[in-house]
A and B are shown apart, each in its own frame.
Chain A
Amino acid sequence: MTADTRNSALDAATGLPPARTPWEETWRLLRKNRLAFSGLLIFVIFFLVAVAGILLTAGSRPVLDPAQVRLQEKLLPPLSLPNHEVLPPEALPPLGRYLLGTDDLGRDVFARMLQGAWVSLTVGFVAVGIAVIIGIILGGLAGYYGDQELEVGHLLVWTTGVIAAFLLLTNRPAGAAAAAAASAVIWIVMRRERSLYEGPPSRRRWFTRGLVSVDTLIMRAVDVMLCFPSFFLILTVVALLPASLYNIMVVIGLTSWMGTTRFVRAEFLSLREQDFVAAARALGIGDMRIIFRHIMPNAMAPVLVSATLGIATAILTEAGLSFLGFGVPPPHATWGNILSDGKQFIFDAPWLTFAPGIVILIVVLAFNLFGEGLRDIMNPKLRERN
């Protein structure tokens, strides 16, 4: 009854109800889903805070210096005022107060939290970005080209190729050239063989004999990866590598692509059989365009959902690593190492534990709510009507 008047008139030219693009529709449903929408709001706030944090805490003379040590002012509770007498003027907190108190070295916890926000944000996004890219490529390959047999020759060509690259990187050009030549020779032999023995696969020879299907290979790799308890895998790898933010992001990314791969494969398998893909093939559209223009956009919904949930997991993983001391090296602050430093003073200075703890809880919860909400919204069954 109180319907928007713009909404209630039929479009004169088409005789259809007013136009709504899929994105507008998603946005409309998102606004109706209160939990997911508040998740999104928190996410936006977190994003702004993290960006503001990196602007305020980076540089040689940051506005808020997370590394400023004030031994006179250690373990002050939140909102306490700095002591103007003992501090040199450049060490005074620019906000006039220690919003979240200070730690055992008298560093401003608020500044450290801001710096940590950026770490969490980048770890979340970069790690998930890596995982999603791997997941889309492998899942897409398994789903679209899954029936194709991988031949013995393929494997040999690739192994020698990888060896060549490795030798080149370790500065052994002679060995690299030899490996590359071997790779090329096998490739040529494969082509010869294939043209000679056109016919049923049983008549193929050695190099072109089918070994496993692409699908089997990729999905077994997923199974193997899933067998490792991934947190301990990450711990092991991180213990071997020099500690740095980039290594952490890459390692988390490389150990969390399996879920996306499975989703993408499943979507590709069902989308590939749809008539619109057959129609595209009938028009003579190339494989790459079919994959990226016709199938991929339809497979993005579950990827988006799992990516959102993945960010929450990555943030938690990074906090866990930092807590255990395997994360970003000090003095750089992350939520995990603030938490870890604070645990010794949990009775004397509980804000050192609560500040990062509660923030991690809220951010992770927000991502999870948003992800779950997206899943509901993108479920076609719930969208049909309305």
Chain B
Amino acid sequence: MKSEAERTSLQGVPQPGQNVPILQVRDLKKSFPVKRGLMQRTRQLVRAVDGVDLDIAAGRTLGLVGESGCGKSTVARMILRLLKSDSGTIRFEGRVIDALSEKQFKPLRRSIQMIFQDPYSSLNPRMTVAQSIAEGVRIAGIAGRRQQRERIEELLTMVGMPPAVADRYPHEFSGGQRQRVGIARALSVAPRLILCDEPISALDVSIQAQIINLLKDLQDRLGLSYLFISHDLHVVSYICDNVCVMYRGRIVEAAPADALFDDPRHPYTHKLLASAPSLLAKAEQPPPVEARRDPLPPGACTYAQQCPEMDSACLDGPTAMHQVGPDHWVRCPPAAGKNP
């Protein structure tokens, strides 16, 4: 009911339709200063996110894959406005949100939620499960102890936990159970988009499957959209409709999950696929490519130093995204030129 009232107050905003993606990110950038020395003077900037574009269709799942440190969490934190972006635009349901003031953003805040990687630090150790979830339930405008309690138990059931755990503390649960509580907390404000920042990387394989199933069920029931961040291409291609592969702050390949799996183009995507151990064969690892140490010209492909396919086109000027199939884009001149 609350969200109805809210939607009518957003007049003049394009309504979420078939063609408007629920989230659109354009040319998002963020650098962090590296502080060194006694005086803590800024010496250098790390370009953590260097021009990222993303589109998430409503009710769909977009995967964001890359090795750790490539800037995935930074993207998620900027979308959630936990971090301020340096430049670029973020549109949520057609509305530019990064220019809004904190006050204007407040009603939208509940629409985007996040699930975190580390199940140990994502729950407040001094709060019971019920208290943690109640924080969101209250924000969602449910007053009255009884109603709040009912909603909390409903949320716990929704994520597959017995309601009787409500008065337990996080330290009594396993990683997978904590992750479920974290999901319940995110759901408590009825979001439309959930950013899942490596939600299963810290879990056992058997528990990973439970959480993946839970996320899919919730998507079917509640029509959620997900940004699913991971370093494991296998997991991502199992859950996601579309996948973006990220390398050092840039998207290097974007494609529907099937296309990415059947016809990976970027050399880095190849490497990610080859790294994932497969059940069937003793993996034959390709010998690692000797890293070339010569500095890259500005704008060159960031992967050039490790890339077995590198040629002169990779170093000439900024490498743009090339379309190689329906919705399949790759930031690599040699890969774009080749035919499958």
Contacts and interface: CB of A to CB of B under 8 A. Distances in A.
B80 interface: yes
Contacts of B135: 280, 283, 285, 293
A13 B168 CA distance: 12
Nearest to B128: A21
B21 interface: no
A22 B170 CA distance: 10
Contact of B139 (A19, A22, A285): A285
Interface residues of B, number: 36
Interface string A1-27: 000000000010111110111100000
Contacts of A281: 82
A97 B167 CA distance: 56
Interface residues of A, number: 25
A276 B162 contact: no
Contacts of A279: 114, 116, 122, 182, 185-186
B53 interface: no
Interface in B147-167: 162, 164-165, 167
B125 to A, nearest CB: 7
A16 to B, nearest CB: 6
A218 B188 CA distance: 38
Given A11-B164, A15-B162, A17-B172, A298 B125 contact: yes
A88 interface: no
Contact of B169 (A13, A14, A17, A22): A22
A278 B169 contact: no
Interface in B250-306: none
A297 B125 CA distance: 9
A275 interface: yes
Interface in A332-360: none
A204 interface: no
B82 to A, nearest CB: 6
A258 B197 CA distance: 39
Given A276-B122, A282-B80, A298-B124, A13 B164 contact: yes
Interface in B237-251: none
Contacts of B173: 16
A194 interface: no
A275 B126 contact: no
B9 interface: no
Interface string B81-116: 010000000000000000000000010011011101
B18 to A, nearest CB: 28
Interface string A267-294: 0000000111011111111000000011
Interface in B162-208: 162, 164-165, 167-169, 172-173, 182, 185-186, 188-189
Contacts of A275: 116-118, 121-122
Given A13-B164, A16-B165, A283-B110, A298 B182 contact: no
Contact of A14 (B121, B132, B162, B189): B162
A14 B122 contact: no
A294 B114 CA distance: 18
B118 A19 contact: no
B71 interface: no
A11 B185 CA distance: 24
A275 B106 CA distance: 20
A283 B172 contact: no
A276 B121 contact: yes
B123 interface: yes
B80 A283 contact: no
A14 B168 CA distance: 9
B316 to A, nearest CB: 33
Contacts of A276: 121-124, 132
Interface of B: 77, 80, 82, 106, 109-110, 112-114, 116-118, 121-127, 132, 135-136, 139, 162, 164-165, 167-169, 172-173, 182, 185-186, 188-189
Given A279-B182, A282-B82, 11 more contacts: A20-B172, A276-B132, A279-B114, A280-B135, A282-B80, A282-B113, A283-B113, A283-B185, A283-B188, A284-B109, A297-B127
14 contacts: A14-B162, A15-B162, A16-B168, A16-B172, A16-B173, A19-B167, A19-B168, A20-B172, A274-B122, A276-B121, A276-B132, A279-B186, A294-B124, A298-B126
